[in-house]
Structures are given as C-alpha cells and as structure tokens.
A = this chain, B = another copy of it.
Amino acid sequence: MQPDLLNLHALHHFRTRSPLTHCMTNDVVQTFTANVLLALGASPAMVIEAEEAEQFSAVADALLINVGTLTASRAQAMRRAIESAVAVGKPWVLDPVAVGALGYRTRFCQQILVLKPAAIRGNASEILALAGMSAGGRGVDTTDTAASALPAAQALARQTKAIVVVTGEVDYVTDGLRTQTVTGGDPMMTRVVGTGCALSAVVAASCSLPGDRLETIAAACGWMKRAGTLAAAQSRGPGSFATAFLDALWELGAQQ
C-alpha cells in the first residue's frame, strides 16, 4: 500500500459527505452491506422496484449493482437504475458475483458493461470471466489467485474505462495503466458472508467522492482490510469476527 496506509484524508471525506448509496444487491448480504456502509458513515438505501429504482438512482450519490441473486424483474429494474444514474452523471459499480459460472447473469453483465460502470469489483474468477479469459469458477468462490487475474483486470479496465478491482489475499486496483496493490486483511473475512459484496458497496460510495478515483478506491480496499486485520485479532471465530469487523470500521480513523 501507499505510505499513507489508510488514506485517512479520503476516509475523512467519506465520513463527512456520507454518500447516499443505492444498493441493488443480492438477498444474502443486504443487511451486512447496509451495516458496513453505516459503520463507515455512509447512507445506504435499497430500492428495487423498477420505477423507484430509476427515480432513486438519479438522486443517490452512487449505485451498486450486485448480481448475486439476480432475477428477471431485478435485472429490468437494475437496467433502468443504471440508465438513470448514467443520464445524470452518477457513478455506478458492478459486482459480477459468480459471472462465468452461471449463464443468465453472465449475459446480463456483458450487456450492462457497455453502460460504462465507474468501477468493477470481483474475485479472480469473476474478473477473468468478465474479461473473456476464463470459463469462470465453481459457484461464488474463486479458483484463481488475484495476481493471476491482474492482466485480465488491466485489459478489462482499458476496454471499459472502469477502475477494476480484483480482490483476494492481495487486492489489485487498476485503471489499465496504473495499478495499486492493497495488502492486509485476514482469511477470516472469507468465513463471513458478504465481506466482498460489502466492499463493492464501499467502492460505489467512494466513487462519488472528488479526487483521484483510483486512489480513493484503493483506500476503500485498505479500510476493509485493516478492519479485517483488527477484527481477527479481537475475535475467536466468525461470529465475533463479524461483530468486531463493524466495530473496527466504525473506529477507523477515529483517533484523528
């Protein structure tokens, strides 16, 4: 990571602005995603009906599209929300959960990719699949390391003009030319559902901040990894880890 380990300046901005973040995400991680955003000082809102999603994404500061439990009606509402956000210049972020492994969502993500996401956050298998370089993983877990997907991430970033984040033991954040590496975290983060999905929501919220988007997103990855490290040191299993993780996000930068 950068010398300024957590980019506390960006974190201060994040807390002060409290980005109103429209999360169209999967059913499994909605509560945790909302609580992660709240712990970092953002304002989450989940609005899913097509008319309302269209209306709301023009008002919100950023939009998250996560296809983990995609359905036909959800896909239609997402498309309208994206188009509405794009029309008024609000950033949207794609989390291509299990793309490559499952057909319907893979086709959907390929279709919406032309609507110019500000960022894409996935694990190695998902980024490889989205870049057309792999048949994808088995289910939601990746079978590749983040480093192995870095060339695919860079190619995808150049192709889409999005910042691409490929996460794993190490996170890589790239715009196709520059690449930032984010280390830290703890394996326990993979034993609590939704840490990756929640990161995507934080990335979406971060895209609404001014400044160098690549650096802000890398900072966001760093906040989550730091909270993971702190939480692992204070917990004895995934139950207490999840609790300590939210507390750590809350306390991050509080000593400033």
Q: A residues within 8 Å of B by Cβ?
A: 20, 26-32, 34-35, 38-39, 43-49, 51-52, 55-56, 59-60, 68-73, 98, 101-105, 138-141, 190-194, 235-240, 242-251
Whether A59 touches B138, Cβ cut-off 8 Å, given contacts A51-B103, A69-B46, A243-B243, is yes
- B102, B140, B238: the one contacting A246 at CB < 8 Å is B238
Interchain residue pairs with CB less than 8 A apart (19): A31-B31, A31-B32, A35-B238, A38-B192, A39-B239, A45-B139, A47-B69, A49-B70, A49-B104, A51-B104, A52-B104, A59-B138, A71-B73, A237-B248, A237-B249, A238-B247, A238-B250, A239-B243, A240-B243
Whether A139 touches B237, Cβ cut-off 8 Å, given contacts A47-B69, A52-B103, is no
The reply to whether B31 and A29 form a contact with Cβ atoms under 8 Å apart is yes
Nearest chain-B residue to A29 (Cβ)?
A: B31
Copies in the complex: 3
CA–CA, A139 to B20, complex, Å? 8
Whether A251 touches B238, Cβ cut-off 8 Å, given contacts A46-B27, A139-B20, is no
The reply to whether B34 and A103 form a contact with Cβ atoms under 8 Å apart is no
A43 partner residues in chain B, CB cutoff 8 A:
139-141
A192 partner residues in chain B, CB cutoff 8 A:
35, 38
CA–CA, A5 to B101, complex, Å? 39
Shortest A80–chain B CB gap in Å is: 12
The reply to whether B237 and A55 form a contact with Cβ atoms under 8 Å apart is no
The reply to whether B239 and A242 form a contact with Cβ atoms under 8 Å apart is yes
CA–CA, A68 to B28, complex, Å? 15
The reply to whether A35 and B242 form a contact with Cβ atoms under 8 Å apart is yes
CA–CA, A105 to B47, complex, Å? 11
A250 partner residues in chain B, CB cutoff 8 A:
191, 236-239
- B28, B48, B237, B245: the one contacting A251 at CB < 8 Å is B237
The reply to whether A45 and B247 form a contact with Cβ atoms under 8 Å apart is no
The reply to whether B31 and A28 form a contact with Cβ atoms under 8 Å apart is yes
Of A45, A48, A59, most B-chain CB atoms within 10 Å: A45
- B45, B49, B141: the one contacting A71 at CB < 8 Å is B49
Q: List 15 additional A-B contacts (Cβ < 8 Å) besides A38-B193, A39-B237, A49-B70.
A: A20-B139, A27-B46, A28-B30, A28-B31, A28-B46, A35-B193, A35-B238, A39-B239, A43-B140, A51-B103, A236-B251, A237-B249, A238-B246, A239-B244, A239-B245
